[in-house]
Amino acid sequence: MDVRQVMDADEMRRALTRIAHEIVERNRGAEAVGIVGILRRGAPLAERLAEMIRQIEGIRPPVGKLDVALYRDDFPERRPDVRPSHLPYDVTDRNIVLVDEVIFTGRTVRAAIDALMDLGRPASIQLAVLLDRGHRELPIRPDYVGKNVPTARTEHVHTSLSELDGEDSVTIARDSAPGGDRDA
Amino acid sequence: MHDLLSLRETETHDIRHLLTTAATLKDILSRPVKKVPTLRGRVVVTLFYEASTRTRTSFELAAKYMSADAVNIAVAQSSVTKGESLKDTLRTLQSVTADCIVMRHPSSGAAHLAAQFADVPVINAGDGRHEHPTQGLLDALTIAQAKGRTGSFRLDGLSVVIVGDLAHSRVARSNVWCLTKLGAQVRWCGPATLMPADASGLPVTVHTDLAEGLHEADVVMVLRLQTERQEKGLLPSVREYARTWGVNAAALRVARPDALVMHPGPMNRGVEISAEVADGVGGIRVGIEDQVRNGVAVRMACLYLLMDQPPDAHGGASSPTSTDVAPEVRS
């Protein structure tokens, strides 16, 4: 199995720190910002970004987590488990930053936008990802990108996060990666 | 899982999966927009050979909250000639693109027969005295929520007593299978004339004394008394039944102080359940409204997990090529 690491813990921390600064800059502070992590791996990243923004701005934006299973367009083939979404704040009139670890086809993000719109009317929706691996199938572009990494469609991108997996890293495996976790 | 016909035949892990999914989908009911697009363009047909407002409405709402189209076909009981006609009805429904059939029928076993004829999933909404699986599931969800067991859906250590007309109750049967699979102990409590002959073969203890049946119970599930039972001579009178078997505040004193009272509805106040108990007077814990809400959530979960499953899709995730679904995401 051919596995290469494209991001280690330090790179991940720096990328997230930069994204946190960009979010604050773009939104002129953190006053009206809300962070929403797409389950599962977007959720811990959303918490990290909120904490970094607190260190920069002194305001910790509210954090939610969003399950998009019910909004997917590909569920007839494989039925995903439904996990509870948790949005402890009203998204209406906030600038919402959606967070996911990898953007690939864009279909997950499309589902997340629809899921969010059913919960309220955000002032704006922005997208932050740790890694953009290309191969978009929808006209969706992230606003904040940790790293752009060209990949082959058949490759598997695996993100490990210390909260869930015990370490921070992003690796790419060629073809048959057993248990490769996700290519969102 | 292709159909939901009985909880006796449903694997315990499938029951837990249905309940976990239902607990999550219940959140949709308290949203400003009570609709998710998941089953858009799919058709759920409710085929009722027996009168029912609650169950049918609950299924229709569940379908609508999931964005499926719900079509109700009320079949006059007189037009039912079993066997071939049921088969023909189901074939017709399929040819008009039903994607799921929800059926209630007065004959035990009718749902199994329907599942043989239909290619699409069949959900049993009650067949004769046999089972009413979605009721069993919604009762289990209500108990788990009231007793703080939704993390694992293990009901170990809980005693559930079902009181009333057990001989004619499909609700009681579905509850026995569901609750015992989840670890609860189930008692059946009622007059001997309303106790089915095969009760001793079920995983229940039988009690023909109300105080004995309710003793230290964690959950008291009261069944509806059908007044036609009296006409058939199984009861001396409805008043006498109310006096001996009616669950009132005094009768509940032998149950645990935090006992949860449930009823599948519609209630005969003053017969099998007193008004004070039904209304939760004096701190009595009543789960009846939760049962109704949970009914919709459970039926949403059933539609979600049963519909659109391609043949032979049991847990099989084909290799992802152009989609962005995680391999961890599978049925």
User: What are B265-304's pLDDT values in tens digits?
Assistant: 999 999 999 999 999 999 999 999 999 999 999 999 999 9
Looking up tokens 């519609």, which residue turns up?
B266
Cross-chain Cβ contact A183/B317 below 8 Å = no
Closest CA to B57 of B70, B67, B69, B75: B70
> What's the residue count for chain A?
184
- The interface predicted TM-score (ipTM) is 0.82
Helix residue spans in chain A (DSSP H): 9-26, 42-57, 107-117, 162-165
pLDDT digits (tens), chain A, 184 positions: 689 999 999 999 999 999 999 999 999 999 999 999 999 999 999 999 999 999 999 999 999 999 999 998 875 566 788 999 999 999 999 999 999 999 999 999 999 999 999 999 999 999 999 999 999 999 999 999 999 999 999 999 999 999 999 999 999 998 654 444 444 4
Across the interface, of B21, B33, B328, the residue whose CB is closest to A82 is B21
Question: Domain residue spans in chain A?
Answer: 9-71+82-153
Buried b (16+ CB within 10 A) or exposed e, A46-79: bbbbbebbeebbeebbebbbbbbbbbbebbebbb
The model's pTM: 0.88
The shortest C-alpha distance from A24 to chain B (Å) reads 30
Which of A79-83, B25-29, B324-328 shows the lowest per-residue confidence on average (mean pLDDT)? B324-328
Cross-chain Cβ contact B37/A74 below 8 Å = no
Residue B328 binned pLDDT confidence (cut-offs 50, 70, 90): very low
Residue B50 binned pLDDT confidence (cut-offs 50, 70, 90): confident
- Give B263 or B312, the one with higher predicted confidence: B263
Mean pLDDT of chain B: 89
Thinking of the domain B133-288, which architecture would CATH place it in?
3-Layer(aba) Sandwich (3.40)
Position A2 scores a pLDDT of 86
Q: B12-131+292-306 with B133-288: one CATH topology?
A: yes
Looking up tokens 């935090």, which residue turns up?
B258
Under 8 Å between Cβ of B264 and B239: no
Thinking of the domain B12-131+292-306, which architecture would CATH place it in?
3-Layer(aba) Sandwich (3.40)
* Chain B positions in Cβ-Cβ contact with residue A85 (cut-off 8 Å): 27
Q: Could you give the CA distance from residue A167 to residue A178 in angstroms, rounded to a whole number?
A: 19
Residue B230 binned pLDDT confidence (cut-offs 50, 70, 90): confident
Across the interface, of B36, B313, B329, the residue whose CB is closest to A70 is B36
Under 8 Å between Cβ of B271 and B225: yes
Cross-chain Cβ contact B31/A119 below 8 Å = yes
Across the interface, of A104, A154, A181, the residue whose CB is closest to B324 is A104
Question: Domain residue spans in chain B?
Answer: 12-131+292-306, 133-288
For chain A, the distance separating the N- and C-terminal CA atoms, rounded to the nearest angstrom, is 21
The shortest C-alpha distance from B325 to chain A (Å) reads 7
Q: Could you give the CA distance from residue B174 to residue A48 in angstroms, rounded to a whole number?
A: 46
Buried b (16+ CB within 10 A) or exposed e, A138-153: eeeebbbbbbebebee
Under 8 Å between Cβ of A36 and A66: yes
Cross-chain Cβ contact A82/B329 below 8 Å = no
Tokens of B7: 């909880």
**Which residue in B has a C-alpha nearest to residue A178's C-alpha?**
B327
Please report, rounded to a whole number, the percentage of residues in chain B having pLDDT higher than 90.
Answer: 74
Helix residue spans in B29-185 (DSSP H): 54-65, 84-95, 110-117, 133-146, 170-181
Mutual orientation of helices B288-306 and B54-65 as an angle, nearest 10°?
50
Q: Is A27 on the interface with B (CB under 8 A)?
A: no
Q: Which DSSP string do the residues of B174-219 spell out, in sequence order?
A: HHHHHHHHTT-EEEEE--GGGS-GGGGGSS-EEESSHHHHHTT-SE
At residue B246, φ and ψ (nearest 5 deg) are -65, 135
Thinking of the domain A9-71+82-153, which architecture would CATH place it in?
3-Layer(aba) Sandwich (3.40)
